[in-house]
Structure 1
Amino acid sequence: MGSQSPLSLQVAKALSIQAHPDKSLAAILHKQQPEVYKDDNHKPEMALALTEFEALCGFVGLEEIKTVLQNVPEISEVVGTASANQVLHLSKEAGEKKRKEVLQSLFTKLMSASKAVISDAVFKLISRLNIKSKVRGLTEKEELVLRLEKQYPGDVGVIASFLFNYVKLNSGEALYLGANEPHAYLHGECVECMATSDNVVRAGLTPKKLDVQTLCSILTYKQGFPEILHGVPSNPYTVKYLPPFDEFEVDQCILPQGASTVFPAIPGPSVFLVVKGRGTVRQAFSEELVGEGDVLFTPANAQISVRTTSGLSLYRAGISSRFFK
């Protein structure tokens, strides 16, 4: 059972298009390239928005991919007409396996194209969008592409972003990311919780080391908009977020001035992160004053009492309650 860790993350510039390998693949990659893949664990994660938070996550559905290919000719120029037509001529009745195979072929050709080919395609794309913007309003995705190109000129991630879901979270909404799912955090502040691992396979929107072949080979190629978690209230001040992982769950606790609450004893340990305000945290034999930026570890089977006179926002990460059932 891997441990979990929460952190507060502020994204001002897009973070890489990436995926995290599943546990069996992580072990293989660690054995083959220990200098790149530092451990043999998987890395499920969740981003819980503190502000409006933007991300790319997973592939859009088949019909939207067809629309993209019709409206973004630069993709067909990179992958070739035959590859694009494979998608365009795919019927709605095509099985899931066939849809995934065709998408994998298209995406792999796009991501594997030479830097020169991609740079030329991105230049044409941006020039076309700038002209279009003078005669019509651009779509949200087109506006995003222009923004990404300014951050990463000539990068394959700029053009590949058309194939991903553009997700906008409001404060208090969460996005979870399973193994082998493509994603990129774009902008905003969140509390991120993940299993303890540094395994990241990157393929775009980054100056860091790329492993395009591995990324394209491991993705699930599932299509459709990802699930957004809104959390379930535990009490008037606390909301629980329970992604489908054994590794962790997260509680968001926002105490107004003069309020207090109790976190019941649970079978596993917890990590608390204070995001805003000041207050006190009391365990069986100790009481501690906490403030913004503080992190506390609490052992299993410990009841935790929290109170504040000024207001306090904190987050608790612990092993998923599903694991103990």
Structure 2
Amino acid sequence: MNRLTNTVRPYAWGSTTAIPELLGIEPTGEPQAELWMGAHPGAPSRIDRGQGPVALDAVIDADPAAELGEAAVKRFGPRLPFLLKVLAAGAPLSVQVHPDLAQAAAGYADEEARGIPLDAPNRNYKDANHKPEMIVALSPFDGLCGFRRPAEAADLVDALGVPALTPYVDILRAQPEDQALREVLAAVLGAEPGAMAETVRAATESASRLARTPGTPRADSYAAYAKAAHSFPGDRGIIAAMLLNHVRLQPGEALYLGAGVPHAYLDGLGVEIMANSDNVLRCGLTPKHIDVPELMRVVRFTAGDPGVLRPEAGPDGEELYPAPIDEFRLSRYLLAAGADPRTLPAGTPQILLCTSGEVRLRTLTSSHTASSADATLSLAQGESAYVPAGERTELTGRGTLFRATVAA
């Protein structure tokens, strides 16, 4: 196993304090949005096996079978199929959806055939992979996930008292669920920008007032939309966001976000895991490109509960966050001082992240050099390690450890 040296991505929406507090370092004053752990070529972690720091993707490329295990290479190819992050949202991320595997492959092939450069601002598909993801809250965490029931969305929008929104309310109350959501989202994204900016301004003022009014139903949702509008004044995505479920996760709770599900993260600190892809289609709260026809093709217009997940207790103290995906498997261990050691199975690549306390790792078996057998490593809060497929590892200490791997 090897300690990871990781990169922090300074996106504008990032918190200036949350990741520095986790890492125990002084804030720089600049936004620090994501701490990446993995082998994504955009910012691979680095490890040192005695010959100096080497990018993890290069280590894996040199011997995929030894690092990932033959089974993982056969199923997912010679690359680590997931990316683990600590995400710190100080301002809203864009409202977005991700394609399924078939849509991603077709979209990527089409844009390649049309010669659209990968770094072009109007490029939708950066690769041919899908991007299911999961977020686990480390602090109270606000987000949007999936469509509200049309009747509930109609009541929420109607209470704003903005005449320009009345046609949307009527559609939500009169049409079948999928048709109502499709028509309203298309109308919002296709509206004349100047008129929509004025509508958003009026809706934002009303949402802010309702959030402060005692006894207002869904006051927390109105407060979230008003806060988002402060970051993106006049953005039509505010109205699109009102069609979505607002959810506040408590620490330890999670959301799984599958293909076609519109979502946005608004505020908070969490552990995020995803399939290794950059494919994002946006529909608001962003200055970036919005491809409305492609977005409408990918979105799944199905309403329902956002599906808050809580970990399921398993053998040997592991608490699993279930997800219907093979590219990643996320679990955690809550370790108590003096408790019996916990043993992690071998056979798949793993990234281990300590989010509180201090956790000690001991290698029991190793597929690498004899000198690495029985190696020990301590992880403090915010530190992480990579464990190749051939190593079985024992956990002791006191704290919280997240384990990211692939489905066996």
Q: Shorter-normalised TM-score: what interval?
A: 0.7 to 0.9
Letter aligned with residue 170 of structure 2: N
Where does residue 376 of structure 2 map in the other structure? 287
**Deviation at residue 259 of structure 1 after TM alignment:** 4.0
> Which residue of 2 is the match for residue 116 of structure 1?
194
- Match of residue 4, structure 1, among 67, 77, 82: 82
Specify the alignment match of 1:299 in structure 2: 388
Which residue of 2 is the match for residue 175 of structure 1? 255
Displacement of 1:135? 6.4
Task: Select the residue among 121, 146, 153 that pairs with 1:58.
Answer: 146
CA displacement at 1:66 relative to structure 2:
3.0
AA aligned to 2:141 is F
Would the alpha carbon gap of residues 262 and 170 (structure 1) be closer, same or farther in structure 2, given more than 3 Å must change?
same
Q: Where do 5+ consecutive residues of structure 2 fail to align?
A: 1-74, 366-372
The offset of 1:187, in angstroms, is: 0.9
SS in 2 for 1:229: coil
Matched position secondary structure for 2:341: strand
- Describe the superposition over 1:207-254 as per-residue Cα deviations: whole angstroms up to 9, x where unpaired: 333333322221111101121111111257531112111122111122
- Could you tell me how far apart the structure 1 residues matched to 2:149 and 2:182 are? 13
1:316 — aligned with what? 403
Contact 1:237 1:261 in 2 (8 A): no
- Matched AA of 1:42: H
Q: Deviations over 1:120-165 (max 9, x none)?
A: 1012223334565676554222222221111111111222222110
Q: Does the 8 Å CA contact 2:146/2:245 hold for their aligned counterparts?
A: yes
1:94 — aligned with what?
none
* Residues matched between the structures, number: 309
Structure 1 residues 158-183: Cα deviation after superposition (integer angstroms, max 9, x where no partner) = 22222110011111111000011100
Pair 1:172–1:240, CA change in 2 (3 A)? same
Matched, 1:274 2:354: yes
What is the TM-score normalised by the length of structure 2?
Answer: 0.70
SS of residue matched to 1:228: coil
Partner Cα distance (2:338, 2:192) in 1: 60
- Given that residues 200 and 234 in structure 2 are in contact (C-alpha distance below 8 angstroms), is that contact kept between their aligned partners in structure 1? yes
1:70 and 2:155 matched:
no
Q: Pick from 170, 178, 201: which aligns with 1:85?
A: 170
Q: Which residue of 2 aligns with 1:106?
A: 184
Coordinate RMSD, CA, aligned: 2.3
Deviation at 1:26, TM superposition (A): 1.1
Normalising by structure 1, report the TM-score: 0.86
Aligned to 2:331: 251
Query: Which position in structure 1 is the counterpart of 2:288?
Result: 208
CA–CA distance in structure 2, aligned partners of residues 85 and 257 of structure 1: 59
Q: Which residue number in structure 2 is paired with residue 95 of structure 1?
A: none
Over 3 Å counting, the alpha-carbon distance change for 1:241 and 1:127 in structure 2 is closer
Whether the 8 Å contact between 1:8 and 1:191 is mirrored in structure 2 is yes
SS in 2 for 1:5: strand
Alpha-carbon distance in structure 2 between the residues aligned to 1:317 and 1:170: 21
Residues in 1 aligned to 2:83 and 2:209: alpha-carbon distance in whole angstroms? 46
Q: Name the SS of the counterpart of 2:294 in structure 1.
A: helix
AA paired with 1:257?
Answer: A
Which residue is 1:93 aligned to?
A: none
Pairing of 1:25-40 with structure 2 (within 5 A): 25-31=103-109, 32=111, 33=116, 34-35=118-119, 36=123, 37-40=125-128
Measured in 2, the distance between the counterparts of 1:49 and 1:42 equals 23
Tell me the CA shift for residue 69 of structure 1.
4.6
Identical residues among aligned pairs (%): 30
